[in-house]
Amino acid sequence: MLVIIDTSAIIAVLVNEPERAALVDATLGAELAAPGSVHWEVGNALSALLKRRRATLTQAQQAIRAYAAIPIRFMEVDLALALDLASTHDLYAYDAYLIACALAQKAPLLTLDKGLQRAARVAGIEILELRP
């Protein structure tokens, strides 16, 4: 099964957030895919942890190595569709890219972002729910 994964889910796994085990369970046996922007968002999220002093450089570098080991297929996104989705659902482009990717692939979305979940549902995207 193909699953579109967003940065919030990836970061939660990398920094050992409470949802980590459920996220790993939810993706066992799945093929992970994401728009190419997620790659840069992971770097941005880790740099934000450094800036807020919630992680050391050593921890961030360990997270990058762990991230590099996650098999994610990065996909192109229809920018016109993403812009339409951003306008329709009042989203930032990065969230619209995820929805556009899920729509194009007819795949569920895995995200911890409640706002993105709501917009994706309205757009007709299945949200991969985590089991406690």
Structure-token pair, residue 29:
């046996």
Helix 114-122 and helix 79-89, axial crossing angle in degrees, nearest 10: 100
Give the Cα separation of 119 and 58 in Å (integer). 36
Q: What is the reported pTM?
A: 0.94
**Size (the chain), residues:** 132
Which CATH number is 2-122 given?
3.40.50.1010
Q: What is the mean pLDDT of each run of 10 residues along the chain (132 residues)?
A: 97 96 96 97 97 96 97 97 97 97 98 96 96 78
Pair 115, 90: CB distance under 8 Å: no
Strands of the chain, DSSP E: 2-5, 31-35, 72-75, 109-110
Domain range annotation of the chain: 2-122
